Amino acid sequence: MKQFLNVLKFELGNYFKSKSFMVTTILLALAVAAAVALPPVFMKGSFSEVFGGSKGSTEATGEDAAEGSSADGNYDSDADVLAIADPDGFVSDITELTDRMPGYNWKVFDDTDEVEDIVSAGAKGGFILTGRYTYTYVVNDLSILDSLDSEFSEIYTDYWQEQELKAEGIDAAAVEEILGHSSISDMKVLGKDGANNYWYTYILIFVLYFLVLFYGQMIATSITSEKSNRAIEVLVTTVDSTSLIFGKVIAGALSGIFQAGVILGSGLLTYHFTGAGWNYRLDFLFHIPAEVWGAFVVFGLLGYLMYAFLFGMLGALVSKTEDISKSATPVTMIFVVSFILTMTGMNDSSSLLMKVASFIPFTSSNAMFARIALGSVSSVEVVISAAILAATVVVLGWLAAKIFRFGTLMYGNPIKFTQALKKIREQ
């Protein structure tokens, strides 16, 4: 135990004394905090502009149109200007239309060419009425986000529907009230609200994904680099191989948990103080139940340790750091498959595939966590899955220690995993 603690302390010191590790942690934490804190500031700024009166509808008159033109014939290029022309007089009072789209500076023209001219000069858009329910939308550069056409189409349709109802002696307001009624339902969720829990589950699984792949590679690289510079020969003769591999793996795991905790914690803490600025619209991301946190800690930590031991033993089987990616590819692919399977199964967490995956050690860290967060899982299933995963971690830890001692003293070409197992059995 003393040797294990010494290795653990030494390896943790290497991580926390590393400037790149600490700077990366701090910068990512600040970036997450800024991403949570800054949007409310900008939103409040935009709201003050809107309610401060920067946009306002004015009465659309011919005089306004004249004011919109300068002495040299160039029109006001205000982006809030909208032009409208009714050359054939389909609408008796044009303000009945323009008042339905407030927030713009409407200019009324008699000639269609004037509408095109003001739009070309920089106006936001223009409308030329060509008949009952028909019009031409004039725009300079059409953006994929342009919604003016659909907005005007709605109000122009409403206008003519009201005119037709009046002609038939029908109260348009009464019809609108009747058609505006809709069914009102209450929802009673007896189990988990998967729709509400989906996004934070999605994010936490992504966090585990990056932790396993990034720190798994880091652990493998650490072991291989010591093997390539022959430092491992001194270590294995003075420190028990089990203490050595467990110390390295757990130190890497703790460092990853520390970094992820600081980054996630910065987001949670920032939202605690800025939630009101968001009108609490991000509660579905940051208000995570204790049960889900508990499942993430248990299954995430066990799965993380399991893959960390796998990466550690693979790092001991190669002598050069450039061979790590090739050697670790099978483990990486297994975890990527587990990740994709869980992401796909999140749409139906009670499916047979997710149930089976939640009891297979290499997939249960993701699958069982997703099932707990998104659906109802019996306590027996959770305990059995956690026990299988914990037993797998212990077995892989023991196997990693054996392969580590054997592999660290072998140099040259990468050692095959099956060859290492055969040697262990012979011993």
Q: Given pLDDT bands bounded at 50, 70 and 90, which one contains residue 227?
A: low
pLDDT reported for residue 407: 63
Q: Given pLDDT bands bounded at 50, 70 and 90, which one contains residue 47?
A: very low
pLDDT, average across residues 234-261:
75
Among 3.40.50, 3.40.190, 3.90.25, 1.10.287, what is the CATH number of 62-171? 3.40.190
3-state secondary structure of 74: coil
Q: Which one is predicted more confidently, 276 or 379?
A: 379
Instruction: Answer yes or no: is pLDDT of 108 > 90.
Output: yes
Range among 36-40, 334-338, 420-424 rated most confident? 334-338
d(CA 300, CA 160): 61
Q: Please state the φ and ψ torsions of residue 408, each to the nearest 5 degrees.
A: -70, -20
Domains in the chain: boundaries:
2-33+193-426, 62-171
138 within 8 A of 83, measured Cβ to Cβ: yes
What is the DSSP track for 101-170? S-SSEEEEESSHHHHHHHHHTT-SEEEEEEETTEEEEE-SS--TT--HHHHHHHHHHHHHHHHHHHHTT-
d(CA 35, CA 94): 45
pTM: 0.63
pLDDT reported for residue 52: 38
pLDDT, average across residues 141-158:
89
pLDDT reported for residue 189: 64
pLDDT reported for residue 151: 92
pLDDT, average across residues 97-104:
90
Instruction: Answer yes or no: is pLDDT of 3 > 80.
Output: no
Instruction: Answer yes or no: is pLDDT of 60 > 70.
Output: no
Instruction: Answer yes or no: is pLDDT of 48 > 80.
Output: no
Q: Given pLDDT bands bounded at 50, 70 and 90, which one contains residue 424?
A: low
Instruction: Answer yes or no: is pLDDT of 154 > 50.
Output: yes
